[in-house]
Chains A and B, each alone.
Chain A
């Protein structure tokens, strides 16, 4: 049997292929993005799509399932918040073809705005929860989830974390097993969730949970590895790997199926060990339930509920070991602290079309209601041109709210949002401000892609995930259709035009949209020559205020890093002394 090194995300995609999934949908989000990117490679057998948001993805998955096919829906943890509405009711209606929902959580917030523990969504929605501990399990659990889904008539939550999604381990590859589409039978009592029918389904859920609890006692993914009985550990997901390495002598009850819990198995295990630890990242999800069973355990009283666990944390907190290597490391760190390593924060790329927008907004001293995407980096120094970032699609509704709070914000506040995020959930905010008579000015930074997660297509970009041509959403017409009468287009490097337009629209007492158009440098296939500094340079450093990593001060002189410079010529636009020459093509980013 062939073995391949795969990330958890690649393995989940492989699982979708091998276990007969026919429809897969997602909105990109780290650390989940690669699941659909890899599923799209099996386009001869699996239909896959980027949906405008996670709620739509789940709706597509539910529809495919009711239509009889096996379906997979993937998202990052905060994406499940967006999809929570259909989730909470598909749990009532159940499935026809198997339905697996992947939640890729991000303990440690490597690239997320919060650190929520989505295992609670399984308990909240009363559906089964699977947690793989490596890529092999990630693949197999897609198959198991689909089986459980069909056997118990329920969607299944498959929860990974960054270290499962993005770490690579060996996976055995098998062939695809076709699972026929089940014939559709109309069943309004199951699929029409009006109150009278939903009340009947409500009872089904409780009955199903009891059966799932029995199942969790016997499923092979819940098993005990007996060793020394002085320390017993109950664990799941990547925490199992940390526990196995830190406590090689301990007995471990590994829960691959971690909701609903196997109560008898846990009681039996607990009765045989001297000391019982619950080792889980983030919240005391299993611990609270196990304590409620009357079992005496140690958990969050010794382990952190913030960030990722590690082998060292377990060795220190559970075994009380002092770790010589860690002490040596601390000594090195202490010595280096006299000249600390400067941070290396992420920055807008050289040539990024958003940079000119943020430079202008900062210059105009505006309050900027921001959103999620690369352009969130406009909040960082030296641009510092963003006041808020909460969630996908927040910016427009947020700006409206600020203006409601205090009339002083009017004429001084703009909302900023990307094309993909606008279509994700921002468009709703725009409808709201039109409908409710706000005057908010919105800048849509349209770079023709979903850039932050790695240039995925969206309804604006003209291509589908499977590589086919698509009809592009016309943002201008869309905004007008919603009722925004003042819709303008601007070029992000024509700073005078941009500033004039923003000033003009802030003074108008009705909502406006300025669509700032230029493709992301990874989408724009034109090549521009790097700019060069000429003898007019007075080292006034104005060009450095745009925060371009290609502009550096060396030996008291401004220099352009020729390998980084994209030739966008924004720096030459801000220069007051004509000291920066465009590349030899003479056109720069404006051509």
Chain B
């Protein structure tokens, strides 16, 4: 398999790191090499969070450069917009339509971009908007929005669904498992 570069972007507290661990577990179980890179620290305090997952036969660099991501899973609308330039020309970005306003927008000194999905679409970027928050709520908690997006990603990758389901069992604590399996399925079907 050619190396797959996947970027997960969101806001501190949205579960990007858990989603990255899930994806990394899938890669291991599918017998691939994997590297995952996360930037945290200041970003724990409501900042922009990005994690990078690279899956393939043999991975060297732990990071993904601009224009090199096969997939971007964005947990928040503005973050998807911010990181879109990391997408490969034939890559695909899918964005949860959740909005979390950053402080400069709250203060009224910056503008939250209008029509994010439409703007990206007009640029010829392969973009899909996903109602992840709503779907997660239907499963019982807004926190499962990350797993909804992973369900959607799973459908795009050349890795069997059963491997994802086993990885969910390994990564998600048992009391949240059923709920997250449901969220995963919703993402997979959309």
Contact = CB atoms under 8 A, between A and B. Distances in A.
Interface of A: 3, 5, 30-31, 110-111, 134, 162-163, 166-170, 238, 241-242, 244-245, 308, 310-312, 323-330, 332-333, 335-336, 339-349, 374, 377, 380-382, 452-454, 544, 547, 549, 551-553, 563
Contacts of A453: 41
Interface size grouping (class) on chain B: 35 or more
B89 to A, nearest CB: 4
Contacts of B48: 344
Contact of B34 (A5, A343, A344, A346): A5
Contacts of A134: 35, 62
B116 to A, nearest CB: 9
B78 A166 contact: no
A325 B85 CA distance: 10
B45 A377 contact: yes
B84 interface: yes
B47 interface: yes
Given A166-B39, A167-B36, A549 B60 contact: no
Interface in B37-78: 37-48, 59-63, 65-68, 78
A381 B104 CA distance: 8
Enumerate the 9 nearest inter-chain pairs by beta-carbon distance, A residue then B residue, closest first.
A111-B41, A329-B67, A325-B67, A342-B110, A167-B62, A30-B41, A346-B45, A344-B102, A245-B60
B173 interface: no
Contact of B25 (A5, A245, A339, A454): A5
A445 to B, nearest CB: 15
A326 B84 CA distance: 12
Contact of B65 (A311, A377, A381, A454): A311
Contact of B63 (A3, A31, A310): A310
Contacts of B144: none
Contacts of A323: 67
A94 B36 CA distance: 37
9 contacts: A168-B34, A245-B61, A324-B89, A325-B66, A336-B85, A340-B113, A347-B47, A377-B45, A552-B101
B42 A110 contact: yes
B89 A544 contact: no
B123 interface: yes
B42 A310 contact: no
Contacts of A348: 45
Contact of A5 (B36, B45, B114): B36
A346 B89 contact: no
Contact of B67 (A326, A341, A551): A326
B34 A170 contact: yes
A568 B109 CA distance: 26
B87 interface: yes
A549 B28 contact: no
Contact of B87 (A166, A329, A342): A329
Most chain A CB within a 10 A radius of its CB, from B62, B87, B105, B109: B62
Given A166-B40, A170-B33, A549-B106, 10 more contacts: A5-B21, A166-B39, A324-B89, A329-B85, A336-B123, A339-B111, A347-B45, A347-B47, A348-B45, A382-B107
B112 A342 contact: yes
B106 to A, nearest CB: 5
Interface string B105-133: 11111111110000100010100000000
Interface in B82-100: 82, 84-89
Contact of B37 (A163, A245, A333): A163
Most chain B CB atoms below 10 A, which of A241, A330, A332 = A332
Contacts of A245: 60-61
B106 A544 contact: yes
A585 to B, nearest CB: 23
B28 A5 contact: yes
A349 B44 CA distance: 10
A332 B34 contact: no
A536 B68 CA distance: 53
B188 interface: no
Nearest to A168: B36
B8 interface: no
B142 interface: yes
B47 A163 contact: no
Given A5-B28, A244-B60, A332-B123, A342 B37 contact: no
A549 B66 contact: no
Given A325-B89, A328-B89, A163 B46 contact: no
A341 B83 CA distance: 9
Contact of B62 (A5, A163, A328, A382): A163
